[in-house]
């Protein structure tokens, strides 16, 4: 039974929302970031990059406290206003190629801890603690965890009927995406949404494992420090964007490696031959079309690698996952890459980019070999989560990527 509840969001005023909301911070180039900070005083980027006004690169607790100050200023100036009643929020984003729609709500930390909210990625402890400290000091969160749930006729119907009304927000961002948001504050409709999620045995984290883990740490610490803890305090929940499984878009991450671990090209190909049938594709751009098929770009040529299934034993869902096969048969034993998160010899390129981008990265000399594969399916992700296994880092690149500053969750 998943507990997904409405909350009182702090939101931009309708006339300023297009100026306030921003793409994820890491998506901006240095030039784009400078332009926004120089010319848009309403951008949420001013809150999360508070040192800019002082022309200083600030980190740690000092930065967190300045983030809190900038956020308070946005509220004092009426740029941000809090809803009076708990609401659900239906959010749609549409580009020329894709459209996504889901529900912004608060998800239960207890569900996360009890595996009702299921995980498929491991997390790094120091990153969990760092973001927990950030949340504790600033007192708010504006980066939703992306959750996915089994398709529901009732939820689809509610979303469809709500979208017939005038949206609270409708604006187009500079990256040519149209964004719309509807506020669901009708008690009967809100009760239907809450009840429908309570019928679901599980929901799954699609993106945001560190954010949810950090929220769990914050909840534990807050509970220990609150003698009057009831379980309904805001810190017992975390900001989430819930989207149906059929609407989620999964891409793969291509792997780029800087060297062959001391092997010559010939030695490397001969070692690969034990586990893969290799075909030289020459200069033709090649992308795999089947599960357990891989592409490789090396020394100006593409290769197809077909897993020799007679040699390989499938024991569970994880063993069938292509990023796992690539790791245990090539990256770790042949190229000496054991730590996929921290080894600087490996980099990742989202699979929504064409094979040409892998070729370009290798041809420019920063890398010597690149690998591609098909993306995992949502069924694979769910099965691995249900079995309690953990996928290798960067196994999926999932969309949508959500904007910051649209709905803020306060603790």
Question: What is the DSSP track for 46-80?
Answer: HHH-GGGGGT----HHHHHHHHHHHHHHHHHTTSE
Each domain of the chain, given as residue ranges in start order, spans 4-249+399-410, 253-395
Whether pLDDT at 353 is above 80: no
Return all residues near 71 (Cβ < 8 A) that are at least 6 apart. Answer: 47, 80, 138, 140, 408
Predicted TM-score of the model (pTM): 0.92
Average pLDDT over residues 283-305: 96
Average pLDDT over residues 141-147: 95
State how far Cα 309 lies from the chain centre: 32
pLDDT at 80: 98
Whether pLDDT at 27 is above 90: no
Residue 75 CA: distances (Å) to CA of 21, 81, 136, 269, 313: 15, 6, 19, 60, 58
Whether pLDDT at 354 is above 80: no
Mean pLDDT of the chain: 95
pLDDT at 160: 97
Average pLDDT over residues 18-36: 92
Distance CA 268, CA 266 (A): 5
Please report the beta strands in 173-258, taking only residues with DSSP state E, as ranges in sequence order. 178-184, 203-207, 237-244, 249-251, 253-257
Whether pLDDT at 266 is above 80: yes
In which band, very low, low, confident or very high, does the pLDDT at 132 lie, cut at 50, 70 and 90?
very high
Whether pLDDT at 25 is above 90: no
At the top level of CATH, the class of 253-395 is: alpha beta
Distance CA 359, CA 370 (A): 8
| Cβ pair 102, 91 in contact under 8 A | yes
Tokens standing for residue 208? 């945001």
Average pLDDT over residues 193-201: 97
In which band, very low, low, confident or very high, does the pLDDT at 56 lie, cut at 50, 70 and 90?
confident
pLDDT at 62: 95
């Amino acid at each position: 039974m998943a507990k997904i509840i409405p909350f009182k969001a702090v939101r931009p005023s309708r006339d300023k929302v297009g100026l306030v909301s921003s793409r994820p911070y890491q998506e901006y180039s240095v030039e784009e970031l400078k332009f926004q900070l120089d010319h848009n005083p309403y951008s949420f980027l001013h809150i999360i990059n508070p040192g800019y006004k002082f022309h200083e690169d600030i980190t740690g607790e000092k930065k967190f406290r300045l983030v809190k100050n900038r956020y308070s200023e946005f509220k004092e100036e009426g740029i941000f206003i809090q809803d009076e009643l708990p609401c659900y929020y239906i959010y749609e984003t549409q580009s020329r190629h894709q459209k996504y729609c889901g529900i912004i709500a608060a998800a239960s930390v207890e569900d996360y801890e009890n595996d009702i909210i299921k995980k498929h990625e491991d997390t790094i402890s120091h990153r969990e603690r760092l973001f927990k400290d950030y949340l504790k000091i600033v007192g708010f969160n504006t980066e939703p965890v992306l959750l996915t749930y089994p398709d529901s006729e009732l939820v689809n119907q509610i979303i469809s009927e709500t979208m017939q009304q005038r949206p609270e927000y409708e604006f187009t961002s500079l990256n040519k995406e149209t964004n719309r948001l509807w506020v669901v504050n009708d008690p009967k409709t809100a009760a239907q949404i809450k009840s429908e999620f309570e019928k679901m045995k599980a929901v799954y984290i699609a993106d945001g494992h560190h954010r949810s883990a950090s929220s769990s740490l914050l909840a534990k610490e807050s509970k220990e420090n609150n003698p009057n803890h009831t379980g309904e305090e805001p810190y017992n929940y975390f900001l989430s964007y819930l989207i149906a499984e059929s609407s989620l878009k999964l891409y793969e991450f291509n792997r780029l490696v800087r060297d062959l671990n001391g092997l010559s090209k010939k030695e490397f190909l001969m070692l690969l031959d034990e586990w893969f049938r290799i075909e030289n594709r020459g200069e033709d751009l090649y992308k795999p079309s089947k599960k357990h098929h891989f592409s490789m770009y090396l020394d100006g040529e593409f290769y197809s690698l077909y897993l020799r299934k007679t040699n390989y034993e499938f024991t569970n869902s994880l063993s069938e996952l292509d990023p796992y096969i690539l790791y245990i048969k090539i990256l770790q034993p042949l190229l000496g890459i054991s730590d996929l998160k921290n080894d600087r010899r490996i980099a990742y390129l989202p699979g929504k980019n064409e094979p040409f981008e892998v070729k370009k990265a290798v041809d420019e000399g920063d890398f010597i070999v690149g690998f591609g594969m098909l993306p995992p399916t949502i069924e694979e992700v769910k099965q691995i989560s249900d079995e309690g296994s953990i996928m290798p880092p960067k196994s999926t690149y999932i969309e949508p990527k959500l904007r910051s500053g649209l709905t803020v969750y306060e603790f």
